[in-house]
Amino acid sequence: MAPKEFEPPVHTIPVDSENKAMSLNIFSFQRPHHMSFHMSWIGFFISFVSTFAAAPMVPVIREDLNMTKPDLGNAALASITGTIICRVLMGTFVDLVGPRIGLGMILLVTAPFCFAMPFVSTASGFLVCRLGIGLGLATFVACQFWMSVMFNGKCVGIANATAAGWGNLGGGVTQFVMPLVYAGMLKATEERAFTAWRWAYIVPGLAHLLGGMGVMFLGQDLPDGNYKLMHTSGALEKKSAFQVNMIGMKNYRMWCMVATYGFCFGVELTMNNIVASYLYDQFDVDLAIAGVLASCYGLMNLFARSVGGLASDWASKRFGMRGRLWCLWLWQTIEGVMCIFMALAKDDLATTIAMMVLFSICVQASEGASYGIVPYITRRALGVASGFIGAGGNAGSTICIALFFTSDSIETYDGIMYMGITIIAVTLLVIPIHFPMWGSMFLGPNDSTEEDYYIKNDFSAEEIKQGLAAPVQKFCNNAHMERPPSKRTGSESA
């Protein structure tokens, strides 16, 4: 229990009993809620820009380093595979130390790999640098955990989706910004193309340093203060790494979400790696034009992921948790269909771009809908769940690239087709996700189970007696809105 001398700060915006913001105002920079919102998406955005900075410059890089298609595929795999473990570790880290330090530190630690890229001379060196830079994608876990502890359930879907969507936007921005940076460096180096692409990597490296320091100094871990203060005052439980990992890993719903998220966010990572070179090779367009067209895929993050989060929050208001589950299944199944349509449009550039944009909108919306559900998977081990599910996205991309886009015997458009079919199949795993107190897609809730399930399932009787479950009790009280409308009180339906 928190000692009597601990007094939470007074907030000037509407908050719930956990001091989480009741609404999201994207134009506000007020601390702690909205400043942390902006720090989270900016940090994630920077990691996306640097991780996929190579993609639009691949035609130049592969000529300079004499790289084959398998070499490029392996480097792409490295950029998103290494962070699988990093995301899992980040989940535990934010549970124990907090999202501010987690996000800031990973940006600072990965910056040297950006600055090392100008010295690369072999395909293996390029792979190692892409691996190191890609570790920065673990910022996603801190970003989503941060939003889940800052914003109430009525807006957590849109908050998570907007922060992650604007962060993912970096994958689209880098497709046209890095060719522009490269063009500037080309002039600065007197048309030495093989030097220009190397100098271009200085820009994302500097962004890592500035972003990391900004997160550390301007962000705040929780509505009531940073983790160090909360631990010292006794207002926040000092968790055991082993314990929270076991709680998370025993939750089958988390594993279902790991798989499904692998085929929305994982698909986005895959497309960020292949789409520019696909358009360049398939339709023989100029490198700069290919980059601009490819950026359309990532630029849908400007609004589409928020649409998914908003749809999830709307479905929750109308139907409870069951609405959130149906929302995710619908968006992601349509995503798979649009992916197949893009592959079928392989002979026409305009149709390919149109299908790619629709495909991208569904991908981002599926991601937003996913993280409308994640905050309810487990409360005590939220960081672990966020870490594993986020890692599932990278694992899904690793699987897609390895199966469909590294072999010379599989045409890229055929790989896109196979990926679409896989998306539809894996999304069926949303069906068995069942919350005893709220139900699932096809089954209603158990009449004898209420929101204190989170306490009974994750805390021992002794821990409850010690008061460790008190913060989770507040969460349970605020989670009543996920009930079916017929089981809510008047205040919960408002």
122: left (phi over 0), alpha (psi -120 to 50) or beta: beta
Using DSSP's 3-state secondary structure scheme, residue 430 falls into helix
Residue 439's DSSP bridge partners are 435
Q: Which amino acid is at 141?
A: V
Both tokens assigned to 269: 């990572």
pTM: 0.84
Predicted confidence pLDDT, tens digits, the chain (494 residues): 444 455 667 888 999 888 999 999 999 999 999 999 999 999 999 999 999 898 889 889 999 999 987 888 888 888 888 888 899 999 999 999 999 999 999 999 999 999 999 999 999 999 999 999 999 999 999 999 999 999 998 898 899 989 988 998 888 888 889 989 999 999 999 889 899 999 999 999 999 999 999 999 999 999 988 888 888 777 777 888 888 899 999 999 999 999 999 999 999 989 988 898 899 889 988 877 888 888 888 888 889 999 999 999 999 999 999 999 999 999 999 999 999 999 999 999 999 999 999 999 999 999 999 999 999 999 889 999 999 999 999 899 989 988 999 888 899 999 999 999 999 999 999 999 999 999 999 999 988 888 888 887 888 888 888 887 877 888 888 888 898 888 877 555 45
SS3 222: strand
Instruction: Go through the chain and tell me how many residues it has.
Output: 494
Angstrom distance (rounded) from CA 156 to CA 312: 10
pLDDT at position 99 is 95
- What's the one-letter identity of residue 435? F
- Residue 416's H or E segment, with its range, is helix 412-426
**pLDDT at 215 (0 to 100):** 96
Token digits of residue 404 = 């469909």
| pLDDT, position 1 | 41
Q: Which two tokens stand for residue 143?
A: 């970003």
Type of residue at 202 = I
Reading the block at residue 461, the tokens are: 């009787």
Q: What is the dihedral angle through the alpha carbons of 93, 96, 97, 98, rounded to the nearest 10 degrees?
A: 80
Q: What angle do CA 269, 272, 277 make, to 5 degrees?
A: 140
